[in-house]
């Protein structure tokens, strides 16, 4: 039996996996068990910001593994304290709770917003507003926040009191507000939902609604945060501050980690015993997170992200010009999507055959989340393979 069959036998069928088994990676390239080389424009869903075996990161993690891996959150470790301080500096918020994943970050943010409401009103009857086509994770709470019925229907009953507005339609959100609304949660750039970017007007409008009605504003930057859109947090491009931000994916750059981060007023609502996690932010995760910030700063990598993004955007826009079935290019920084007028799955498969890793975001959108370290020559290589893929499928 080959690896593909063994995987199909051993795992639950929750994923539609491709018939590729990776062995190792180096820089922007992955290598499968047959030694075939792949250019990675996927980064394990926007996680591996520094590609593979980035020396500063690998060395830091190996060192930490020898020192201390895990102690629980009833004790402190220097690594995790320094990671939290780096997160606070980067987000300009006040308090951090470390988790192991994005789902746990949004779930925690939801619980924090509900607790804040409970302290204020003395009742546990809060409502939450989310957006259609959003994605916030897979636990029962997070999947309820995820405004995409396909992820929800079979798993009811969901949590109660969640309503859905539409991205870039402020009225659709405003009309859902009641005196019981505790929080509004949204992604500045919807990732899984198809790379839809919030307009300036919409984002600022949400902030104003939250201020006016004393609602907690939660931004889910699990995918778009940590430098992916060219600034450390995407909300800095909107000139607003959330009350809570959710982070994961790039925060550990390969080591499983997440966080929800709040201003003091909201964060203070959590009291000892209210929430917890055995692993969340253990010394290994702390080291990963701290090292991510260190690398971003020391190498001024976000300047590079902005520069190479400009080049990639120019090249993608040329594809939109060239092929009338490519409707639009959307996104910010190195979180970009191309919307086709037909399903894109065959393109992903053919790209893989030719040694290029891409993903979808919904049925008709090709999503690109390359590692931050890509250079213009890597963009050129991607465009050359991808153009071949497009031409072969449409010949």
Ligand X SMILES: *Cc1c(COP(=O)(O)O)cnc(C)c1O
- Interacting residues toward ligand X by CB under 6 A: 101-103, 106, 135-137, 187, 191-192, 220, 222-223, 248-249
- Output the CA torsion 283→91→41→359 (10° steps): 100
Minimum CB–partner distance for residue 392 and ligand X (Å): 31
In the complex with ligand X, which residue's Cβ is closer, 356 or 369? 369
Q: Could you tell me which residues are beta bridge partners of residue 30?
A: 25, 38
- The residue number whose beta carbon is nearest to ligand X equals 102
Find the shortest distance in angstroms from Cβ 377 to ligand X: 28
Give dist(CA 196, CA 58) in Å, integer.
34
Q: How far apart are the C-alpha atoms of 146 and 222, rounded to whole Å?
A: 13
**Minimum gap (Å) between residue 12 Cβ and ligand X:** 16
CB of 221 to ligand X, least distance (A): 7
Toward ligand X, which CB reaches closer, 222 or 385? 222
Complex with ligand X: residue 223 or 291, whichever CB lies closer? 223
Sheet containing strand 335-340, edge to edge, reads 326-332, 335-340, 365-368, 359-360
Give the nearest distance from C-beta 214 to ligand X in angstroms. Answer: 25
Of 189 and 389, nearer to ligand X (C-beta) is 189
Q: Which is nearer to ligand X, 79 or 220 (CB)?
A: 220
Query: Which stretches of the chain are DSSP H helices?
Result: 3-10, 43-46, 55-67, 78-91, 102-121, 140-145, 149-152, 170-174, 200-213, 264-267, 283-298, 301-322, 345-353, 376-393
Coil, strand or helix: which one is 181? strand
Contact partners, residue 241, CB within 8 Å, separation at least 6? 92, 93, 207, 235, 263
Nearer to ligand X, 218 or 348 (CB): 218
Distance CA 295, CA 232 (A): 12
Distance of CA 357 to the CA centre of its chain: 18
CA 39 – CA 29 distance, rounded (Å): 5
Cross-strand pairs, 68? none
Q: How far is the CB of 104 from ligand X (least distance, A)?
A: 7
Beta strand 356-357 with 359-360 is unpaired
CB of 74 to ligand X, least distance (A): 24
Least Å from the CB of residue 141 to ligand X: 12
Residue 337 bridge partners (DSSP): 330, 367
CB of 202 to ligand X, least distance (A): 17
Which one, 253 or 379, has the nearer CB to ligand X?
253
Question: Peptide bond preceding 177: is omega within 30 degrees of 0, i.e. cis?
Answer: no
* Phi, psi angles (nearest 5°) of residue 180: -95, 0
Q: What minimum distance in Å lies between the beta carbon of 250 and ligand X?
A: 10
| Distance of alpha carbon 43 from alpha carbon 69, whole angstroms | 25
Residue placing its CB nearer to ligand X in the complex, 137 or 227:
137
Q: Minimum Å distance from CB 151 to ligand X?
A: 11
Give the residue with the Cβ less far from ligand X, 165 or 191: 191
Other Cβ atoms closer than 10 A to 63: 11
Residue (40 or 187) nearer to ligand X, CB: 187
d(CA 165, CA 163): 7
Burial of 170-201, coded b for 16+ CB within 10 Å and e otherwise, reads: beebbebbeeebbbbbbbbbbbbbbbbbbeee
Cβ closer to ligand X: 257 or 316?
257
């Amino acid at each position: 039996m080959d690896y593909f069959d063994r995987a199909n036998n051993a795992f639950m069928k929750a994923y539609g996996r491709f018939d590729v088994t990776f062995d190792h990676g180096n820089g922007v390239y992955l290598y499968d068990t047959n030694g075939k080389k792949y250019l990675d424009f996927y980064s394990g869903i926007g996680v591996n910001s520094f590609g593979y075996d980035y020396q500063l990161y690998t060395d830091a993690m190996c060192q930490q593994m020898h020192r201390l891996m895990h102690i629980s959150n009833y004790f402190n470790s220097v690594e995790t304290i320094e990671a939290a301080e780096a997160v606070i500096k980067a987000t300009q918020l006040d308090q951090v709770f470390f988790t192991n994943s994005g789902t746990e970050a949004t779930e925690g943010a939801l619980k924090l917003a509900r607790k804040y409401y409970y302290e204020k009103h003395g009742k546990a009857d809060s409502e939450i507003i989310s957006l259609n086509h959003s994605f916030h994770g897979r636990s029962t709470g997070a999947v309820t926040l995820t405004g995409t019925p396909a992820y929800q229907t079979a798993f009811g009953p969901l949590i109660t009191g969640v309503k859905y507005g539409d991205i870039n339609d402020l009225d659709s959100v405003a009309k859902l507000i009641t005196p019981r609304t505790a929080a509004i949660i949204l992604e500045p750039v919807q990732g899984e939902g198809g790379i839809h970017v919030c307009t300036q007007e919409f984002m600022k409008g949400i902030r104003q609604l939250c201020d006016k009605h004393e609602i907690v504003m939660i931004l889910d930057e699990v995918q778009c945060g940590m430098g992916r859109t060219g600034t450390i947090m995407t909300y800095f491009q909107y000139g607003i501050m959330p009350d809570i931000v959710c982070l994961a994916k790039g925060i550990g750059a390969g080591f499983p980690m997440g966080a929800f981060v709040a201003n003091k007023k909201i964060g203070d609502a959590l009291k000892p015993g209210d929430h917890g996690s055995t692993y969340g932010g253990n010394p290994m995760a702390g080291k990963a997170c701290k090292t991510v910030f260190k690398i971003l700063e020391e190498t001024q990598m976000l300047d590079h992200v902005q520069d190479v993004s400009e080049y990639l955007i120019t090249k993608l826009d040329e594809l939109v010009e060239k092929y009338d079935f490519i409707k639009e290019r959307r996104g910010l920084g190195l979180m970009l999507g191309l919307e086709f007028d037909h399903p894109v799955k065959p393109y992903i498969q053919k790209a893989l055959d030719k040694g290029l890793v891409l993903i979808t975001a919904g049925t008709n959108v090709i999503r690109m989340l390359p590692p931050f370290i890509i250079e213009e020559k890597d963009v050129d290589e991607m465009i050359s393979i991808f153009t071949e893929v497009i031409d072969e499928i449409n010949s």
